[in-house]
Amino acid sequence: MKIEESLQAKVPNDTLHLAERCFASNLDSFSEQVRFLGLNPARDFKHADLSDVDFSNSDLRGFDFTGADLRGAFGVNVGWDGTTCFNDADADDSVFSYSLSKKKFFDAHPEYADRVERLRGEHWANVILTVEAMLRNDRNSGDAVKIAKAVFDESNSLTVKAEIPLYMSLAVDTKAEHKAFIYHTLAQFGAKPTAIIIRTICAWLRTLSERTRHRART
């Protein structure tokens, strides 16, 4: 009869001791654990299984997640940028879903990216009125709400961030897309004043409630 080897027999003692120290260290973020273990962010996470990992309070700049399984990954106060690689990664239903779909959309529609860039430089009142009108006039294509989200995401005005979510129910947005947006908002603004997050979530819940009532009437 074949007897399975113990974990200690398979893994070198120094690796086990390092793992024990890591567990005992109470490091509160994935990126800190990576540094503690001496892993290489640019090499060691390609094609890795990172599904359902909590990336809270992690700085993921310079990480290469090429081909990685990131499904269901979540977290608040998560940082990443253009140096973070997601080539061929599966990020469905994760904290990264919104950013990846946003990049794909604006790469395909550079004219919309230009519109977002112009709005970023305008007075907050004009930004809010423009976004509201755009959402009212484009209820079906889904493009308007993507632009509105991008303006919310990239604006430095807390007033803009607080008001735009209240109008998002005016335009078409799928449940999955709005969920990805909520995850992204929590990741980017989880460590900042909660009024933004509360308004965003309330707008989302209002959208779902209105759609449920509409389906019931029809």
The verdict on 208 and 124 lying in the same domain is yes
Q: Which residues contact 4 (CB under 8 A, 6 or more apart)?
A: none
Kindly give the residue spans of alpha helices, DSSP state H, lying in 38-172.
97-108, 110-120, 124-137, 143-154, 158-163
Predicted pLDDT of residue 127 = 95
The three-point CA angle 114-115-118 to 5° equals 85
194: DSSP letter: T
pLDDT computed for residue 210 by the predictor? 63
Q: Which domain holds residue 28?
A: 1-94
Q: What are phi and psi of 64, to 5 degrees?
A: -115, 110
Residues 2, 50 share a domain: yes
Question: Which of 53-57, 67-71, 90-94, 212-216 is least confident?
Answer: 212-216
Instruction: Report the domain count for the chain.
Output: 2
Domain boundary among 69, 94, 119: 94
Do 88 and 112 have their domain in common? no
> Do 211 and 105 belong to one domain?
yes
End-to-end CA distance of the chain: 65
- Judge if 77 and 169 occupy the same domain: no
- Domain match, 121 and 157 both: yes
CA distance 201 to 213: 18
DSSP secondary structure letter of residue 128 = H
119, 87: one domain: no
Which pTM was predicted? Answer: 0.76
* Residue 168 contacts residue 134 (beta carbons within 8 Å): no
Q: pLDDT category, 115, cuts 50, 70, 90?
A: very high
